C-alpha cells in the first residue's frame, strides 16, 4: 500500500511534476482518439488529458465495473450456478462462453471470462450472485460510480450494449481502473493474457479464454481491456508498470483497433520517458523504540514504525534524494500511552510529507502493563507502607510501656 501525496508545482528544476492543467494545456501527445487520459497510478495524478470528461460509449469497458464489484463481494473459490433467470438476460448469438443452465463455475473463472473475453453469460451469473438480478446489479454499478466521483458515467445495462444513455468518459474509466487494481483478484485478472477455465459437470474439457489485448505488445507488466461501439468506435484502458513507475492510459473514440494500440504506445512512451517514480519501502525505514519509566514501577517500551511505502513522481531528470525518519513526541511524559510519533519524508532536503507512525507498546516482565496494574502497584505500596508503620508504632508503644 502506498502513502498518497498530492504533488504541487514547485520551482523549476525541483524535479517535481508540474500541475495537471499546465501539462494538459501543452497537449504533448497528439492522438487520434476523441478522448484521452494518462494517469500516474500511485498518486492518481492526471499528467496528460484530452477531452477527459467527454461522454463516450464504453462498450466492453463496462464489464470492468461489474468484474471489480464481483471481485470485492465474492470469494474466488465460490461456485455460482447458471440459473434459468440469468440465462434469459443476454443475447446468445455471440460474446458468450456457452454456459448451460445448471452449470456451476467458480467466481474466479467467471471474472476471468468477463474481463478477458467480455463474456455476457459469465457477467449475468456474476450479477445474480452479487445482487440477485441484473436490475439490482445495474443499480449497484451506478451507485459505485457515484461514490468514486465518476460524474460523467451512467450505466444503462450491465453488458456494455450500445445505448444512447449508456456512457462514460476517459477520466472516469481511469479512476475506476485505479480503484479496481487495488483488489488482488481483479489485478491478477486484468494483467493476465489468458486463462483456462476448468472442466465442469456439464463441460468435460477446459475452456481457454484469451485477452482481447493479447496482441498489444508493450514492455513491462501490462494489462489491457478494449471495447468497440457502433456509436464511437474503439475504446480501451491499459495499465503498464516498469520498476516502481505505473501508468493508466485510457483512449476513447478510435477508428480502428490498430490505431488504438498505436496511440496507447505513444501515450505510455510519453509517460515513461518524461516521469519516474521514486519509492521508499517501509521495510527500509528504521523503527524507533523508546523506554518509558515511571516512579520505579518498571519500564515500558514504545516502538514506532512506518507500515506503508511512500512514492514520489518526478520528472525523468529530477534529483531523487528521498529519505525518511521517525520523529518521537512526548518521550519524557512518563506514560507510554502518551508517546506518539510521525514519519517525515524529505526529498532533496525539503520535507514533502508527514504521516503518523504506527505505535506498539510492550511491557517487559516485571514492568507495569496497564493503568489498572499501575494503580494496583500504588495500592500495594500504600498497604505495605501502612503495615510497616503499624508494626513500627506497635514496637515504639511496647518499648515505652517497659
Say yes or no: 156 and 288 in one domain: no
H helix count then E strand count, the chain: 10, 18
User: At how many degrees (to 10) do helices 170-180 and 62-73 cross?
Assistant: 20
Q: For the whole prediction, is pTM greater than 0.75?
A: yes
Say yes or no: 154 and 189 in one domain: yes
SS3 125: helix
Q: Is residue 10 part of a domain?
A: no
Q: Is residue 305 part of a domain?
A: yes
Say yes or no: 265 and 326 in one domain: no
Say yes or no: 338 and 391 in one domain: no
DSSP, residue by residue, 185-250 = HHHHHHT-SEEEEPP-SS--S-EEEE-TTTT---SSEEEEEEEEETTTEEEEEEEEEETTEEEEEE
Q: Is residue 111 part of a domain?
A: yes
Looking at residue 20, its pLDDT comes to 35
Q: How far apart are CA 397 and CA 402, in angstroms?
A: 9
Mean pLDDT by 10 residues, the chain (402 residues): 39 32 56 96 93 97 98 97 96 91 97 96 98 97 98 97 96 98 97 94 92 88 95 96 94 97 97 91 91 71 90 83 91 84 91 91 62 60 74 67 46
Nearby residues of 394 by Cβ (< 8 Å), 6 or more positions away: none
Looking at residue 376, its pLDDT comes to 60
Nearest one of 166, 162, 165, 155 to 233, comparing CA atoms: 162
Q: Is residue 374 part of a domain?
A: yes
Say yes or no: 203 and 289 in one domain: no
Say yes or no: 269 and 396 in one domain: no
DSSP, residue by residue, 238-306 = EEEEETTEEEEEEEEEESSHHHHHHHHHHHHHHHHHHEEEEEE-GGGS--EEEEEE-TTS-EEEEEEE-
Looking at residue 332, its pLDDT comes to 83
Looking at residue 365, its pLDDT comes to 60
Do residues 226 and 213 touch, judged by C-beta distance below 8 A?
yes
Q: Is residue 12 part of a domain?
A: no
Do residues 190 and 118 touch, judged by C-beta distance below 8 A?
no
Say yes or no: 394 and 297 in one domain: no
Q: What domain count does the chain have?
A: 3
Q: Could you list the residue range(s) of the whole structural domain that residue 322 is in?
A: 282-362
Say yes or no: 144 and 201 in one domain: yes
Looking at residue 214, its pLDDT comes to 83
Say yes or no: 310 and 351 in one domain: yes
Backbone angles phi, psi at 344, to 5 degrees: -110, 125
Looking at residue 374, its pLDDT comes to 57
Amino acid at each position: 500500500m502506498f502513502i498518497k501525496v498530492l504533488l504541487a508545482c514547485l520551482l523549476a528544476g525541483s524535479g517535481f511534476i508540474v500541475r495537471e492543467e499546465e501539462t494538459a494545456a501543452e497537449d504533448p501527445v497528439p492522438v487520434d482518439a476523441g478522448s484521452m487520459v494518462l494517469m500516474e497510478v500511485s498518486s492518481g495524478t492526471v499528467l496528460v488529458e484530452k477531452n477527459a470528461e467527454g461522454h463516450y460509449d464504453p462498450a466492453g469497458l463496462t464489464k470492468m465495473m461489474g468484474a471489480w464489484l464481483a471481485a470485492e463481494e465474492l470469494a474466488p473459490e465460490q461456485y455460482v450456478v447458471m440459473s434459468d433467470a440469468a440465462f434469459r438476460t443476454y443475447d446468445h448469438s455471440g460474446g458468450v462462453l456457452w454456459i448451460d443452465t445448471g452449470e456451476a463455475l467458480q467466481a474466479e473463472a467467471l471474472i476471468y471470462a468477463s474481463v478477458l473475453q467480455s463474456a455476457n453469460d459469465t457477467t449475468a451469473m456474476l450479477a445474480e450472485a452479487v445482487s440477485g438480478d441484473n436490475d439490482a446489479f445495474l443499480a449497484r454499478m451506478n451507485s459505485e460510480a457515484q461514490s468514486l466521483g465518476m460524474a460523467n458515467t451512467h450505466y444503462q445495462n450491465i453488458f456494455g450494449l450500445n445505448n444512447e444513455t449508456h456512457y462514460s468518459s476517459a477520466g472516469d474509466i481511469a479512476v475506476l481502473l485505479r480503484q479496481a487494481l487495488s483488489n488482488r483478484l481483479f489485478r491478477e485478472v486484468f494483467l493476465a493474457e489468458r486463462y483456462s477455465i476448468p472442466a465442469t459437470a456439464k463441460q468435460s474439457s477446459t475452456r481457454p479464454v484469451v485477452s482481447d489485448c493479447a496482441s498489444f505488445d508493450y514492455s513491462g507488466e501490462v494489462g489491457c481491456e478494449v471495447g468497440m461501439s457502433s456509436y464511437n468506435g474503439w475504446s480501451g484502458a491499459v495499465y503498464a508498470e516498469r520498476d516502481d513507475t505505473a501508468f493508466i492510459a485510457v483512449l476513447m473514440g478510435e477508428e480502428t483497433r490498430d490505431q488504438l494500440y498505436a496511440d496507447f504506445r505513444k501515450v505510455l512512451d510519453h509517460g515513461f520517458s518524461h516521469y519516474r517514480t521514486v519509492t521508499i519501502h517501509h521495510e527500509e525505514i528504521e523503527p524507533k523504540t523508546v523506554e518509558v519509566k515511571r516512579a520505579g514501577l518498571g519500564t515500558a517500551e514504545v516502538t514506532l514504525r512506518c507500515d506503508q511505502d511512500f512514492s514520489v513522481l518526478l520528472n525523468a531528470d529530477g534529483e531523487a534524494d528521498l529519505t525518511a525518519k521517525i520523529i518521537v513526541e512526548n518521550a519524557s511524559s512518563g506514560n507510554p500511552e502518551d508517546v506518539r510519533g510521525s514519519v517525515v519524508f524529505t526529498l532533496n532536503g525539503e520535507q514533502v510529507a508527514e504521516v503518523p507512525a504506527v505505535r506498539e507498546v510492550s511491557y517487559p516482565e516485571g514492568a507495569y502493563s496497564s493503568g489498572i496494574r499501575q494503580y494496583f502497584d500504588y495500592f500495594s505500596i500504600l498497604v505495605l507502607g501502612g503495615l510497616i508503620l503499624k508494626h513500627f508504632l506497635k514496637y515504639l508503644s511496647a518499648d515505652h510501656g517497659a
